[in-house]
Amino acid sequence: MKLDQTRIPLYHEHIDYVLTDPSVNFDVPGHKHGRSFPDFYKQMMSEQMLALDINSSKTMDNLSNPIGVIKEAQELAADLFQADQAYFLVNGSTSGIQNMILASCNPNDKIIMPRNMHKSAINGLVLSGALPIFIYPEIESDLGISMGMSLENVKKTIDEHQDAKAIMILNPTYYGYTSNIKEITEYAHQFGIAVLVDESHGSLFALSDKLPLSGLEVHADMVTISMHKTGGSLTQSSILFHNEGLISASRVRSVINLAQTSSASYLLMSSLDVARYQLANHPEMIDDLISLSDYVRNEVNKIEPLFCPSEELLNHDTIYDFDQAKIVIDVSNLGYTGFEVVDLLQEEYHTQLEVGETNVILAVIGLGDDLKTVEVLLSALRSFVKRYNKKRKTKYSSVNIHVPITLRTPREAFFSKAMMVTLDDAIDKIASDQIMVYPPGIPLAIPGELITKQMVEEFHFLLQMESQLIGCTMIDEIPYIRIMKEGI
């Protein structure tokens, strides 16, 4: 680190501008320091916070073209996370993922990505017109969730598609598992393929040796982190990092400005500055988080028949490493699905978990947790198991992997005319919407892909198993999906 990380330039200027600057505002927002809000809202939200909701100005800089305090704050973030550039985002990592794709791919350029990518990546394909080449992640059969990509698979895919412009890596998956990001990055770079890392769930990786490797530590070209998820900033605030080389800074800048608001919220941006300051000056918070998480994992494993996997799952490849703060709990021996357990924990114990799937539930331990809060979770789990254990195993229906046949880019499929047809009529037609199946959160088809007979059979099977299917509508008890009208 070269810069003085004890500074919080954006935050300080923000406070000074609002609380000490004597100017009277004749610019937007029209609520003028919150004065037009009704009293109940002013009291609830605190008048000071409402006053802090301001627009850009010469003093406060502008996110579309930062030259002042926002620039300084972004430089401090880049310095801490060891990247060439940092860009604050106010529309979540969704915008970061989309910017990464748009910055590296022109229409019809190839991009390699894991099949378990977030939907923002598919939307990024629609925006960019890029052609996806998918790599199937491993699906861990006991937990029923998708993991990382195998290095061998990545190499093979790159060998076959040396003209690809970019490869996207999910680091980590929603459940905290990573791939061998170092070797993947090195291999891609040998071919001049840009490495884009979706580090939405790994905001802290770059800051601790005890956590999995960050894309930034292996010199990926672009990395998006959701500071708002585990980094401690306000919801919706994320950071996009860029390392120069394969992608130019001017391209990144113009791509970001394509869809970014010209009125970015200072509450969000200041919170990024403060969260960065906090992480830089209190690295022990991350150590504490890891010990606390290890404690939770140990305790959960004492509650029969729950199982909270850790190191023993690692295989040096598709499950290369894992984020300790993601508490994945296998609940399949209780006779309930993870969906049901999450609902019951909420209804009966007032504990809100991150997500549930057929076999597992996920609790996220965060920087704000302590022994007291995690004890609530642990006692809820202990009591839940006593009260609800049906002592039998829930069935997990495994999904077969279909190698997708891409006939149109997602963009072409998205903009072509579409119509609903019954599932059976969709055979040999081109999907126009994404069809997702949970578990394991992998699309059966994305826009532009051929719907095969085998896929439709699988689909019927999954419907019977009562899996969650998104992108499929039941009409008069018959499943319908959307296909491209073209070529019928």
Partner 1 sequence: MSHKIYTEKWAKDVHFSIEYTSHIHHEESPFQTIDFYQSETLGTFFTLDGLMMVNQKDEFSYHDMISHVPMSVNPNIKRVLIIGGGDGGTAREISRYPHVNQIDMVEIDERVVKLSIEYLPQTASKLETDERIHLYFEDGVAFVNQKEDGYYDLVLVDSTDPIGPGEGLFSKQFYDDCFRILTDDGILINQHESPYFDRDKKEMIRAHKKIKELFPIAKVYQFHQPTYPSGHWLFGFASKKLDPIKDHKPDLWEELDLDTRYYNSDIHKAAFALPTYVRKALKNNE
Ligand X SMILES: Cc1ncc(COP(=O)(O)O)c(C=O)c1O
Binding positions for ligand X, rule: CB under 6 A = 92-94, 97, 118, 120, 170, 174, 198, 200-201, 226, 238
Residue 226 C-beta: closest distance to ligand X, Å: 4
Residue 404 C-beta: closest distance to partner 1, Å: 24
Residue 291 C-beta: closest distance to ligand X, Å: 25
Pick one of partner 1, ligand X, none as the site partner of residue 408 (Cβ within 5 to 8 A by kind): none
Which amino acid is located at 206 in the chain?
Answer: A
Pick one of partner 1, ligand X, none as the site partner of residue 200 (Cβ within 5 to 8 A by kind): ligand X
Given phi > 0 = left and psi -120 to 50 = alpha, else beta, which region is 130?
beta
Q: Which spans of this chain sit near partner 1 (rule: CB under 8 A)?
A: 417-422, 425, 475-476, 478, 480, 485, 488
Considering the complex, state which of residue 233 and residue 452 has its C-beta at the smaller distance from ligand X. Answer: 233
Residue 417 C-beta: closest distance to partner 1, Å: 7
Considering the complex, state which of residue 242 and residue 408 has its C-beta at the smaller distance from ligand X. Answer: 242
Handedness of CA 47, 52, 55, 58 (dihedral sign): positive
Task: Write the burial class of residue 104 (CB in 10 Å: 0-12 exposed, 13-18 middle, 19+ buried).
Answer: buried
H/E element, 437: strand 435-438
Tokens at 200, concatenated: 């939405």
Residue 436 C-beta: closest distance to partner 1, Å: 21
H/E element, 268: helix 266-281
Considering the complex, state which of residue 195 and residue 334 has its C-beta at the smaller distance from ligand X. Answer: 195
Residue 142 C-beta: closest distance to partner 1, Å: 39
Per-residue CA distances from 8 to 29, 90, 182, 229 (Å): 24, 18, 32, 21
Pick one of ligand X, partner 1, none as the site partner of residue 421 (Cβ within 5 to 8 A by kind): partner 1
Considering the complex, state which of residue 391 and residue 417 has its C-beta at the smaller distance from partner 1. Answer: 417
Considering the complex, state which of residue 226 and residue 432 has its C-beta at the smaller distance from ligand X. Answer: 226
Considering the complex, state which of residue 239 and residue 306 has its C-beta at the smaller distance from ligand X. Answer: 239
- C-alpha closest to that of 130 among 447, 430, 483, 436: 447
- DSSP letters, 57-95, are BTTTB-TTS--SHHHHHHHHHHHHHT-SEEEEESSHHHH
Pick one of ligand X, partner 1, none as the site partner of residue 198 (Cβ within 5 to 8 A by kind): ligand X
Residue 415 C-beta: closest distance to partner 1, Å: 15
Residue 93 C-beta: closest distance to ligand X, Å: 3
Pick one of partner 1, ligand X, none as the site partner of residue 445 (Cβ within 5 to 8 A by kind): none
Pick one of partner 1, ligand X, none as the site partner of residue 488 (Cβ within 5 to 8 A by kind): partner 1
Helix orientation angle between 249-259 and 92-104, rounded to the nearest 10 degrees: 130
- C-alpha closest to that of 53 among 259, 239, 264, 238: 264
Pick one of ligand X, partner 1, none as the site partner of residue 120 (Cβ within 5 to 8 A by kind): ligand X
Pick one of partner 1, ligand X, none as the site partner of residue 425 (Cβ within 5 to 8 A by kind): partner 1
Considering the complex, state which of residue 94 and residue 432 has its C-beta at the smaller distance from ligand X. Answer: 94
Considering the complex, state which of residue 3 and residue 420 has its C-beta at the smaller distance from partner 1. Answer: 420
Considering the complex, state which of residue 349 and residue 415 has its C-beta at the smaller distance from partner 1. Answer: 415
d(CA 342, CA 438): 15
SS3 category, 340: helix
H/E element, 298: helix 284-301
- DSSP letters, 13-44, are HHHHHHHT--PPP-SS-TTTTTTTS-HHHHHH
DSSP-derived pairing of the beta strands 442-445 and 435-438: antiparallel
CB 430 within 8 A of CB 408: yes
Pick one of ligand X, partner 1, none as the site partner of residue 420 (Cβ within 5 to 8 A by kind): partner 1
Residue with smallest beta-carbon separation from ligand X: 92
